[in-house]
């Protein structure tokens, strides 16, 4: 894990769950973490907790649906620390529902957060990384980006899109010595279930998923593994599930 020490890592969706746990883990391994999320108090509290343990962290209020906000997050990291080594595009929502319910506003929001938010992160970080001739962009997909189950059509579409975007990015950035990684978690303990507002779908998942969901530290270890590789090793995709998860 020595390749993580002293790296500047920008994380979106850092106020809870996967993003927060990744921030804690990477900080413990010596990275400087720049935390982006809408819930400013949450990320400030997390940054304070990290620094209290001897780590380095900076909180920047960020809305990934606003391109200027994402640009400000990345630019603040570069202005403060001189560079950006890793961008972890982690922010995401999962308001699952049957298509026939026509929850179009939720479809639009998933597209804005899960796809456009990732694109805004790439747009903000890529120019800096090209100039540096170094860097790594990690995008978070999902097992739902590999399999489509009932009530997950739009969510899965956004996560399939992340895989396509990441593969296209991987092919294009080789001249600049950049690395790209997609991480696709299965059922991991987070606040994603709280974003489901269709009561029937929410009740169904809440009765099953908590029984086998694994801790967010599993995701954090995958992120650390991808970052920790020597600079000539490009881990392109990690797909993982709880051992008990069947789909």
Which residues are tagged catalytic?
A: 155
End-to-end CA distance of the chain: 31
Q: What are the Cα distances from residue 133, in Å, to 110, 137, 202, 236? A: 32, 13, 45, 18
Please state whether beta strands 179-185 and 136-140 pair in parallel, antiparallel, or not at all (unpaired): parallel
What angle, 0 to 180 degrees and rounded to 10, lies between the N-to-C axes of helices 217-228 and 17-28? 50
Ramachandran angles phi, psi of 22, nearest 5°: -60, -40
Q: Compute how many other C-beta atoms are within 10 angstroms of the C-beta atom of residue 37.
A: 27
Query: In this structure, what DSSP letter does residue 116 have?
Result: I
Contacts for 176 with CB less than 8 Å, ≥ 6 apart: 129, 130, 133, 135
Beta-sheet strand order (sheet of 136-140): 56-61, 32-37, 8-12, 86-89, 136-140, 179-185, 237-240
């Amino acid at each position: 894990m020595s390749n993580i020490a002293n790296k500047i890592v920008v994380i979106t969706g850092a106020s809870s769950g996967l993003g927060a746990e990744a921030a804690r883990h990477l900080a413990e391994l010596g990275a400087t973490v720049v935390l982006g999320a809408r819930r400013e108090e949450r990320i400030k509290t997390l940054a304070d907790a990290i620094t209290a343990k001897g780590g380095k962290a900076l909180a920047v209020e960020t809305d990934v649906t606003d391109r200027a906000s994402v640009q400000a997050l990345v630019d603040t990291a570069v202005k403060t620390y001189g560079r950006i080594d890793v961008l972890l595009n982690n922010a995401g929502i999962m308001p699952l529902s049957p298509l026939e319910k026509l929850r179009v506003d939720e479809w639009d929001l998933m597209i804005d957060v899960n796809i456009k938010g990732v694109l805004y992160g790439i747009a903000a970080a890529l120019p800096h990384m090209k100039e540096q001739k170094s860097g790594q962009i990690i995008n978070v997909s999902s097992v739902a980006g590999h399999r489509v189950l009932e009530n997950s059509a739009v969510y899965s579409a956004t996560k399939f899109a992340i895989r396509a975007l990441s593969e296209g990015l991987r092919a294009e950035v080789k001249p600049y010595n950049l690395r790209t990684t997609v991480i696709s978690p299965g059922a991991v303990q987070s606040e994603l279930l709280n974003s489901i507002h269709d009561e029937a779908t929410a009740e169904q998942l809440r009765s099953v998923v908590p029984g086998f969901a694994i801790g967010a530290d599993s995701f954090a270890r995958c992120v650390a593994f991808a970052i920790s590789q020597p600079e000539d090793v490009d881990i392109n995709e990690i797909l993982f599930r709880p051992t008990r998860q069947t789909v």
